[in-house]
Copies of this chain bind each other. A is one copy, B any other.
Amino acid sequence: MIITSMDAERCRRMLARIGYGRLACAKDNQPYVVPTYFACEGDNVYAFSVEGQKIAWMRANPRVCVEVDEVAGQFEWETVIATGRYQELTDAPEFRSERALAERLLQQRYMAWQTPYEILHRRQVRESGPPVFYCIRIEHISGLSAKPESLDAAPF
């Protein structure tokens, strides 16, 4: 197995392409990690969620970590890890345009998944109140790519 580092641009492309990973937050040094769908633009990761433990903890401590992986086999995988800060995109005027951007990117993302975003969104509002839109501002990103050694030695 040959493991190589991925540069930041390749890491950002992988995050954006997959759009599904895990978000870790922490409270009193207890980490908590949940699966999350998201959309990306540059160093911003956009997502929305109903209110709950994750949102409460990120409000209290904005330090978070996002992880994405893609595993073809034990010796063939890629993984990206990004640390950054939680920023809630409230209704306040200073977040209006970015919140609209987040909604548009997420809507496009859900359409790419052939998911009825509008239905999901309306149902969440009905059942759990308005969702919380937020952004993870990436401060550091790194990734590793592994491939089987035998492929490197192959003559093709």
A residues whose Cβ falls under 8 Å from a Cβ of B: 1, 20, 22, 24-35, 37, 61, 63-67, 69, 71, 74-75, 77, 79, 81, 83, 110, 113, 115, 120, 123
| Given A24-B24, A115-B74, residue A32 in contact with residue B69 (CB < 8 A) | no
B29 touches A65 (CB 8 A): no
Give which listed residue, B33, B35, B63, contacts A29 with CB less than 8 A: B63
Total identical chains: 2
Q: Which residue of B lies closest to A57 (CB)?
A: B31
Besides A1-B123, A30-B65, A32-B83, 15 other CB < 8 A contacts?
A20-B71, A24-B24, A24-B26, A26-B29, A26-B30, A26-B31, A27-B29, A29-B29, A31-B33, A31-B64, A32-B65, A34-B79, A35-B67, A35-B69, A75-B115
Interface secondary structure of A, over-half rule: strand
Give which listed residue, B63, B75, B113, B115, contacts A31 with CB less than 8 A: B63
